[in-house]
Structure 1
Amino acid sequence: MKDIRIAWLVPSVELGAYWQPVLREFTQVYPNTLFYTGQVWPGFDPEQPGCSAIEIVGETKFVETQKVETGYGRGFIVVSPSIIGRLLKFKPDIVFPQAFSLWTVFAVLLKPIFGWKLAIIYDGSSPNTDFRDSGFRTVARKWLAKFADAFVSNSEAGKQYLMEALGVPESKIMKRVYLVPDAKALQRRLENTEDIELQLKRPTFLYVGRITQRKGIKTLLGACAVLKERGIENFNLLIVGKGDQREELEAFIRENGFEEQVIWAGWVEYGKLGLYFQQADVFVFPTYEDVWGMVVPEAMIFGKPILCSKGAAAAELIEEGQNGYLFDPHNPEDLAEQMLRLIDDPSLIESMGARSREIIAQTTPETAARSFVEATEAIFAQQ
């Protein structure tokens, strides 16, 4: 089985450093693997274990055709057609294309000619990436799905989309969490980084991510304003990230008079994020829409309770009342109530954080790689 040639077609891994440890594990089982992409993450090092399998093919761009106020912008991904030549040269036995990009179309069209197997990987589901309201996209995806021998879905929401919208039989879908952080790498970087000193009240709520409208930070600040109106000020909010909405959000904070409770850390390089996770007490992910949300499992690695938006597919990692709470990202009062639970009862922070660590310990780069190994074995067992 080790001589099987496997090609991955993932148009962009711009924020995908988490693929490195998965490929490290996967290529130990299937060394004849090539991972094609048109965009890699900052600091990409081809010398890292697993990264030698990654080949950059052209350039991937997203062309936005419709801006959505509280969700992903709609549009299409432009990928390089030179992937065809790469596949013809490599002659894979199995292809793992991501979702339904033009690269997936190429893989489907060439499948009858070259006889390779096809397993589509689907990261997650959200309204503006599923396009359920687009008849053309749905019909095109249904057609592509018929040629797939299997699917690997990262989330339950993704699995339900494949079944309900595209008519994929449940027997063809493996639901496995494969978008996972590398706990060892995060903690190793933490050990090699100088400490930071922050003057924090307890509890400190933490947000990490882009400072953009889709991420729902306005709802988080609205929740802080609700607590302020009730005279509750014994907490901090620590915001890590950068983006075009910061000026608007700073104005909102000033208007509502809780500047002293908000700490802006700005952009922090990935290797130092652990220090901020470590110093905070509770992680908040207020996004309006996310096909997953890697920051949620990252926070869980550091043993943090999670207040998670129902708009994030990563919400399925939350056992409500055990390691966190879910809330409506359009309702600041709902989030304020969940924050107040932890402010009023600090003992929950320790117990919920411990449960977060237990849950995420079951999902690692090793288990993610094993999911794709299992998919490969299952496909060839059908022959």
Structure 2
Amino acid sequence: MRNDKVKMLVFHPVIAPYRIDFFNELYSQFGAEVCLFYRNLRSQKFDYEKIEKQFLFNPIYIEKKGSFVSWVKKIVHQLSVSKPNVVLVSELGVPTLITILYKFITFKRYKIVSMIDDSYDMVAGDKQFSWKHKYATKLLMPLLDEVINVEPMVTDFYNTKFNKGFFFPIITSDKIAKQCLEKVIPISNEYIKTYHLQGKKVLLFVGRLVKIKNVSFAIKAFMKANIPNSVFVIVGDGSERKNLESLAQHFENIIFTGRLEDDELYAWYNIAQCFTLPSLQEPFGAVTNEALQGGCKVLISKVAGSLCLVEEGKNGYLIDPKNMDDYIKKLISILDDADACDTIHKVRQNLMIYTFNDKFEGFYNKVQNLIK
């Protein structure tokens, strides 16, 4: 049932596939007005028409076109006409600053909540992506009413330093994920035939092929491990692809599929026994959630925010993205215990340790308490 006491306004750059469930639930539970600044991610392009069709709401686009001043005026106008009592913003950029300034200039009483996706390695190790983000944290954090963090250690860090912080990882609806995985079983079986994966054990990577993702490390480790009847499937594209293909050119059991999304991507989660994210820096890594929902055990970098989804030895392991021997040991451990690929008839057990519904319920209660 929708909570009519909360009038929520959302300012967010764009909605990626792994955020759809969260924003749909904001609309379902609070009737949130969702304002977006772009129609696709700048770092990678999704089929945005397909994404929009999954929205339960009609987004308000305040696109960054024309002058900076006109864009700011549109944000201020939306704050004026929406009359929110809760404003949900993304990170600590210009829209967040405008939301704070408008509140104090007009003496409005709405609560401001920011979604900040930094990993613990970034905030505690002083490794933010830019100096602007670093100083914005110091200046604006005290002026926010609450902060949503994607990692529990970051939440503890912000609670200690700023007395605010709520843990909500980047995860999707388990029910919807299961439906997606069931729908693509025929595609999964087609992949098994096409790539001759019957009787094989599959290591999977999904993401941009750029240096910070450290895929060359995983390729070298896989080659050195030399696990019988194993295949490394690399899904993605990027500036490093040619170098990575050159590195793997003499190994027929390393497959580059190119960039995939939607059904063509989800089909791989039904197949792989192990998923890896060996990044050197990673704010979160939503693909970890997708892989675990598909029943893949994971090898996740200890500097990735999604390390909070890993229960050591049960649904995977954390790895040092520079320690190859340890990586190989853990990879062998996972694949040795796994069943080889066979024709798929049903989806595997979900290996997530958190559920979307439980986490959203906690957020719902947090919002309720904010407006009391």
**Structure 2 unaligned spans of 5+:** 41-47, 342-346
TM-score (norm 2): 0.82
Question: 1:38-49 residue pairs with structure 2 within 5 A?
Answer: 38-41=37-40, 42-44=48-50, 46=52, 48-49=54-55
1:26 counterpart residue number: 26
Q: Which range is displaced more, 82-91 or 127-136?
A: 127-136
**Which letter does structure 2 place at the counterpart of 1:56?**
Y
**Which letter does structure 1 place at the counterpart of 2:13?**
P
Q: Does 1:154 align with 2:147?
A: no
**Which letter does structure 2 place at the counterpart of 1:43?**
E
1:55 counterpart residue number: 60
1:337 counterpart residue number: 329
1:278 Cα deviation from its structure 2 partner:
0.9
The CA RMSD measured in Å over matched residues stands at 3.0
CA contact (8 A) 1:23 1:369 kept: no
Q: Does 1:183 align with 2:177?
A: no
CA contact (8 A) 2:274 2:335 kept: no
User: Cα 1:343–1:40, aligned 2, differ >3 Å: closer, same or farther?
Assistant: same
CA contact (8 A) 2:206 2:287 kept: yes
Q: Does 1:10 align with 2:7?
A: no
Question: 1:224-243 residue pairs with structure 2 within 5 A?
Answer: 224-228=222-226, 232-243=227-238
1:359 counterpart residue number: 352
Cα distance in 2 between the residues matched to 1:279 and 1:240? 13
1:218 Cα deviation from its structure 2 partner:
0.7
TM-score (norm 1): 0.80
SS at match of 2:162: coil
2:295 counterpart residue number: 303
Cα distance in 1 between the residues matched to 2:340 and 2:154? 31
Question: 1:76-155 residue pairs with structure 2 within 5 A?
Answer: 80-81=71-72, 82-112=74-104, 113=106, 114-125=108-119, 132=126, 137-155=133-151
Cα distance in 2 between the residues matched to 1:276 and 1:301? 12
1:20 Cα deviation from its structure 2 partner:
2.6
**Which letter does structure 2 place at the counterpart of 1:290?**
E
User: Cα 1:130–1:101, aligned 2, differ >3 Å: closer, same or farther?
Assistant: farther
**Which letter does structure 1 place at the counterpart of 2:212?**
R
Question: 1:196-211 residue pairs with structure 2 within 5 A?
Answer: 196=190, 197=193, 198-200=195-197, 202-211=200-209
Cα distance in 2 between the residues matched to 1:144 and 1:40? 27
Cα distance in 2 between the residues matched to 1:373 and 1:266? 39
1:321 Cα deviation from its structure 2 partner:
1.1
CA contact (8 A) 1:119 1:151 kept: yes
Q: Give CA deviations for 1:209-237 in whole Å, capped at 9, x if unaligned.
A: 11111111011011023224xxx443110
CA contact (8 A) 1:282 1:306 kept: yes
1:311 Cα deviation from its structure 2 partner:
2.0
SS at match of 1:43: helix
CA contact (8 A) 1:7 1:35 kept: yes
CA contact (8 A) 1:18 1:182 kept: no
SS at match of 1:95: strand
Cα distance in 2 between the residues matched to 1:79 and 1:330? 47
Number of aligned residues: 344
Cα distance in 2 between the residues matched to 1:138 and 1:192? 43
CA contact (8 A) 1:123 1:158 kept: no
1:263 Cα deviation from its structure 2 partner:
1.3
SS at match of 1:322: coil
CA contact (8 A) 1:288 1:309 kept: yes
Cα distance in 2 between the residues matched to 1:79 and 1:10? 18
User: Cα 1:30–1:346, aligned 2, differ >3 Å: closer, same or farther?
Assistant: closer
**Which letter does structure 1 place at the counterpart of 2:213?**
K
Cα distance in 2 between the residues matched to 1:5 and 1:356? 38
**Structure 1 unaligned spans of 5+:** 61-77
User: Cα 1:187–1:250, aligned 2, differ >3 Å: closer, same or farther?
Assistant: same
Cα distance in 2 between the residues matched to 1:317 and 1:28? 26
1:296 Cα deviation from its structure 2 partner:
0.6
1:19 Cα deviation from its structure 2 partner:
2.9
Q: Give CA deviations for 1:258-311 in whole Å, capped at 9, x if unaligned.
A: x21111111222222221111211111111111111111101111111111112
Cα distance in 2 between the residues matched to 1:106 and 1:130? 27
Cα distance in 1 between the residues matched to 2:83 and 2:117? 25
SS at match of 2:371: helix
Q: Which range is displaced more, 296-305 or 198-207?
A: 198-207
* Identity of matched residues, %: 22
Q: Which range is displaced more, 245-254 or 117-126?
A: 117-126
